[in-house]
Copies of this chain bind each other. A is one copy, B any other.
Amino acid sequence: MNQHDKIPVMTESSCLDCDSRKFAWFEPGDEAHLPEREKQRAGQYLVRAGGNVFMEGDILDYAYTLKQGWAICYKLLANGQRQVLHVALAGDFIGCQANYGQPIDYAVMTVTDCVFCAFSAESMQNLLIAEPSLMRRLFEINAKQSEKCRTRLAYVGQAQAKYRVALFLTHLIERLERRGIDTSQMVEFPLTREDIADAVGITAVHLSRISAELRARNIVECRYNRLVVTDLDALKTLAAELI
């Protein structure tokens, strides 16, 4: 993420006005400390859709909170295949490491235009020392990310394609709902067949067949940048058959 992407300081938005905070590091509750915390922020960055936030192997200067937009964390394999590890939504913390200076083990690419809030390793250190509760929260965030990864590993390793897709969509819909998006209506859904396929370990072609089935059964439709959840219960039932 280079200097060109940086949002001019004057037009940066404040943590106080951020509606993603519920899911983010600076969760609501301690508003008095917010200005202090915001002072440690290195800046906000705009990355256009399809842009690389960082690549696997990069030495990161910052960790990022995704403020706005959709991004994907992924790994590339030697044969060119891609495993999507995580679909990042507003509030998600990305690029957090125990040891800065060590190369990061995954890449991040934006799916839509995205805004990121950057924190340098030192400023994070400062914050953690000043406010021990932030350490607990960071711990919690990392633990939750690990848990999500284990869950994904379990169903990618053990479930058939249809159930993987149902589980993936169920989890994603839950996260959208928690962010106040009403998925009983049609919603924007920028993931392509390829993105989803790479997340659950199947090919886009096969995913297309599974999607056709889910659509035919009036459960869910997701394509052309739209998501229509017709029968969430049926989707959950399908997902629950295998985890």
Contact = CB atoms under 8 A, between A and B. Distances in A.
Contacts of A77: 154-155, 158-159, 242-243
Nearest to A146: B146
A56 to B, nearest CB: 10
A142 B142 contact: yes
Contact of A140 (B99, B139, B145, B154): B99
Interface string A51-81: 0000000000000000000000001011101
A85 interface: yes
Contact of A153 (B78, B97, B144, B149): B149
Interface of A: 75, 77-79, 81-83, 85, 97-99, 105-106, 135-136, 139-140, 142-147, 149-159, 198, 200-201, 240-243
29 contacts: A75-B151, A77-B154, A77-B158, A77-B242, A78-B241, A78-B243, A79-B158, A79-B241, A79-B242, A83-B154, A83-B157, A83-B158, A85-B150, A85-B154, A98-B142, A98-B144, A105-B150, A135-B135, A142-B142, A142-B143, A142-B146, A145-B146, A146-B146, A146-B149, A149-B150, A149-B153, A153-B153, A156-B156, A156-B157
- The 9 tightest CB contacts between A and B, nearest first, are A157-B201, A98-B143, A83-B154, A98-B140, A81-B158, A75-B154, A149-B149, A83-B157, A153-B153
